[in-house]
Amino acid sequence: MAGSGPIGVGIIGAGVISKTYLENLTSFPDVEVLAIGDIVKEAAAARAEEFNVPTAGGPEAVLEHDGVELVINLTIPAVHAEVASSAIEAGKHVFNEKPLALERVSAKALLDAAEAKGLRVGCAPDTFLGSGLQEARKLIDRGDIGEPLSALTLMQSPGPESWHPNPAFLFQEGAGPLFDIGPYYFTALVQLFGAVDTVGAVASKSREQRVIGSGPKAGETFDVTVPTHVSAAAKFASGQSSQTILSFDSAARRILFEVNGTEGTLAVPDPNTFDGEVRIIRRTDDDWQTVATTEAQSSRGTGALEMARAIREGRPHRATGAQAYHVLDIMESVAEAAMSGEYVKLDSSVERPKLLPDDWDPKAKTL
């Protein structure tokens, strides 16, 4: 879609995460939020009033808006593919919250439809564009730990039902620790090592039901229909390997992301954040050394901004649908490996995007 000046943006989905997106998107000079749509029109209207967005209504308020070039899809995962396909059908680029879809077939259909129309698909997580993960990759690519060999990553917690007021969907298809948290970890691993070739996994479910711990539904029980603990091994096309644990079954809360190389180990910031400390311990060291303390320039919505600039500049964007499809393929393959007890070879692949330029500034006016 040709044009000049800021990219017109519309948001479909006025839920909790929309507030963070709007805080960022309304602060970026290179995008202009023109409309918010939701099946609950009152929710869209409230968000529009809160952030001075001129148009609000149902999803059609975004899809039929002539000024909207890029749709930000913040709906629930179960309808990500459907809503994104509607945006493509309306002739608009789309940036999805993660995951791209619940399964490969609808995700592939979405990407094919966009390609046929000459439109772009982007997808979260965009945390890899944050200063923390960008700095970590820069140090690895520079050779600060020698040749990268492997990674050890984990996220352990008791689960979100203790604090989330409506957590049932996080324990059902399209979520669980694999699909809810996995995108952050696997996207970061792909950024550091490239495409995954083969995965193996085991998975378990500790309880058939859980209890809501806060909010108006506190004390109510809900069914758990997906594994709540997943342990996955991955082999990358470039030769590296990784071990990943994603668990809602641990009393201990723990986040770890370490990359081992021939000369040392790099501690990478939490891949669900945009900043953090980067630390190294080398073979000759007695203790870890902090080599960078990074600060976030922005958060959710950074990938949509980078995509908007890429549309105007006629270059590839970084948080691509192809990358999100590969991450979805990794997660589905992990689930299949856990079910079958056999290793699964992936059909998809993807190239790592370039690092952001050193002068990247989301708050700058460039268009």
Q: What is the pLDDT of residues 178-223, one digit of tens each?
A: 999 999 999 999 999 999 999 999 999 999 999 999 989 999 999 9
Closest CA to 209 of 193, 201, 220, 200: 220
The answer, yes or no, to whether residue 2 has pLDDT greater than 80, is no
**Confidence class of residue 31 from pLDDT cuts 50, 70 and 90?**
very high
Torsion-angle region of 41 (φ positive above 0: left; ψ -120 to 50: alpha; else: beta)? alpha
Q: For position 173, what pLDDT does the model report?
A: 86
Burial group, residue 160, by CB count within 10 angstroms (0-12, 13-18, 19+) = middle
**pTM of the full structure:** 0.95
Asked whether the bond before 77 is cis by omega within 30 degrees of 0, the reply is: no
On whether both 161 and 52 belong to a single domain, the answer is no
The answer, yes or no, to whether residue 108 has pLDDT greater than 90, is yes
**Confidence class of residue 1 from pLDDT cuts 50, 70 and 90?**
very low
On whether both 229 and 280 belong to a single domain, the answer is yes
State which of 232, 264, 294 marks the end of a domain.
294
Q: Which parts of the chain fold into alpha helices (H)?
A: 16-25, 41-50, 60-63, 80-89, 104-117, 131-142, 176-180, 182-193, 302-313, 321-340
Whether residue 195 is contained in a domain is answered as yes
On whether both 206 and 74 belong to a single domain, the answer is no
Task: Read off the pLDDT of residues 261-294 as tens digits, 9 standing for 90 and up.
Answer: 999 999 999 999 999 999 999 988 889 999 999 9
CATH number for position 207: 3.30.360.10
Task: Read off the pLDDT of residues 114-166 as tens digits, 9 standing for 90 and up.
Answer: 999 999 999 999 999 999 999 999 999 999 999 999 999 999 999 999 888 88
On whether both 268 and 166 belong to a single domain, the answer is yes
State which of 86, 105, 123 marks the end of a domain.
123
Burial group, residue 291, by CB count within 10 angstroms (0-12, 13-18, 19+) = middle
Structural domain total, the chain:
2
Give the residue numbers spanning the domain of 249: 130-294
On whether both 25 and 71 belong to a single domain, the answer is yes
Torsion-angle region of 48 (φ positive above 0: left; ψ -120 to 50: alpha; else: beta)? alpha
Whether residue 334 is contained in a domain is answered as no
Whether residue 222 is contained in a domain is answered as yes
**Confidence class of residue 169 from pLDDT cuts 50, 70 and 90?**
confident
Whether residue 357 is contained in a domain is answered as no
Closest CA to 322 of 86, 74, 7, 108: 108
Q: What percentage of the chain's residues is helix, strand, coil (to nearest 5)? A: 35, 25, 40
